[in-house]
Chain A
């Protein structure tokens, strides 16, 4: 059981951003991370979309999981936890559709820049990962802690993709050996970034 004081919540937020960065410690959400990190503005847009979807679906799924799926839940007495995966992905998919409509309406430039990756947020493993990790029985997060964890994870992903976009901008002027150009050097840098983030490891942990 985690500390639920304000300090405890801050620790969860910080840990989710830095020490337990969902992308760099668990390597979740790699496909869109690599594909969208060529340009800082697009990376920022994608990061914000992922943060928004992670945060909102985590809260929705928290309510559904503890309100309906677990044994002796207030809305349904039966143990339906075996439906967890199905329900989580259904809520994420539906919500992504909604986000897609909102972005198309209010920011067509971002909509076209994100292209195919917008609907693919649905299958961004970072989002399903956060949704599954927050209901991890070892942690037993409450609603506030879940919100902090989901927000922190989204922000951590945003931080990682923006850092990578900045680095790749500089890489355009670097003399990368031919066999490593493109995907190769990106994966190497991701590994180096992950090692750098491990430097935060002793700081906080969840």
Chain B
């Protein structure tokens, strides 16, 4: 009998609490329909309670967000003039004084609770959503996969080398997205190639490592503000670490397409011989492009004695092969882990490469 009482007491208590929470949820979390006006256009109506990033995504306004709306990348900046509420402490690390003054906010942190008036960069309105089919996939190292996506419905994507796309990734909380640099040249408009390194328990990399040839992948793009200097007199210095090779491959293949005589140096740093990728492809390009140099360096080649090339960290190679006379225009593009970016930036500045011509992408 006592157990029956216990059961009745616990279940009625649990049920009562659940009912109370449901009622509270109904009244407290119900913000009703809210109007959102973007760039002075006709406002659209969304159901309140979602984030501004989600609301814009629903209206096919694709704001860049490399972290998938987690508030950790600081890419989803928009200017919110009305209805954004106070600036939150979680936004502060990503906003400087001038941005705070012009009402810049992170779209992923703002919950739509009332009518919102905002401005987004006009180029964001050109970003499209694409459906694609995986047509090829192969492992290029023990943990990195090369995936080729063919756009469906005869769509074409316009991008500049160095830009990235955001792939829709199914997760337990619905759909989220992850950013990947495009590694194919912009001349191929109906295909996109990606280089994906498997991160243990990583949502996006696991998905793209498991997706099979013939399956559909949805992505938006192209994002990124890096602008390649098209002047052929400008020497290009590309430095990549890990899967930071992806945008470099796009840039170099693009140069191979449009100005094969252009001066260009590629530095790629990995730990061991097992991590080397695309070396043969670049060496072949170096044969075709007379002013293109390839430097691969291994930082930890202990177990890879056959390696005849350079050893040490990649910034040491950069120091060795980039001259410091400061003659001629130079543009540098770095992609890799933060420590590598920091070390290479320092070396390049010592070599008189102007700071505003050093672009980087940390991950």
Contact = CB atoms under 8 A, between A and B. Distances in A.
A101 B25 contact: yes
Interface stretch (A106-114, A147-155, A162-170, A196-204): A106-114
A101 B28 CA distance: 7
Interface in B260-294: none
B101 interface: no
Contact of B13 (A90, A97, A101): A90
A123 interface: no
A102 B88 CA distance: 17
Nearest to A105: B28
Contacts of B21: 94, 97-98, 101
A108 B29 CA distance: 13
B90 A112 contact: yes
B340 to A, nearest CB: 28
Nearest 5 pairs of A and B residues by beta carbon: A94-B17, A78-B5, A112-B88, A101-B28, A78-B2
Contacts of A112: 88-90, 109
* Interface class of chain A by DSSP: helix
Which of B9, B14, B17, B109 has its CB near the most chain A CB atoms (within 10 A)?
Answer: B9
A48 interface: no
Range of interface residues on B (Cβ < 8 Å): 20 to 34
Nearest to A42: B89
Interface residues of A, number: 24
B111 A101 contact: no
Nearest to A112: B88
Interface in A42-85: 64, 68-69, 76, 78-80, 83
Contacts of B90: 112, 115
Nearest to B111: A108
Contact of A105 (B5, B29, B86, B88): B29
Interface in B109-161: 109, 111
B6 interface: yes
A86 interface: yes
B9 A83 contact: yes
Contacts of B85: 108
A90 B17 contact: yes
B121 to A, nearest CB: 25
Contacts of B5: 76, 78, 80
A34 interface: no
Interface in A112-171: 112-113, 115
B24 interface: yes
A63 to B, nearest CB: 12
Contacts of B1: 78
Interface in B1-31: 1-2, 5-6, 8-10, 13-14, 17-18, 20-21, 24-25, 28-29
Interface string A86-107: 1100110010011001101100
Contacts of A101: 21, 24-25, 28-29
B30 to A, nearest CB: 10
Contacts of A80: 2, 5-6, 9
Nearest to A94: B17
B111 A109 contact: no
B25 A91 contact: no
Contacts of A108: 85-86, 88, 111
Nearest to B87: A109
Given A98-B21, A108-B111, A109-B86, A64 B6 contact: no
Contacts of B24: 98, 101-102
Contacts of A98: 20-21, 24
A112 B86 CA distance: 11
A79 B2 CA distance: 8
A109 B88 CA distance: 6
Nearest to B17: A94
Contacts of A90: 10, 13-14, 17
A68 B9 contact: yes
A48 B1 CA distance: 42
19 contacts: A76-B5, A76-B8, A76-B9, A80-B2, A83-B9, A83-B10, A86-B10, A87-B10, A90-B10, A91-B13, A97-B21, A98-B24, A101-B24, A101-B29, A104-B29, A108-B111, A109-B89, A113-B89, A115-B90
B13 A87 contact: yes
A80 B85 CA distance: 48
Given A94-B17, A109-B88, 16 more contacts: A64-B13, A68-B9, A69-B9, A76-B8, A78-B5, A80-B2, A80-B5, A80-B6, A83-B9, A87-B9, A90-B14, A90-B17, A105-B28, A109-B86, A109-B89, A112-B90
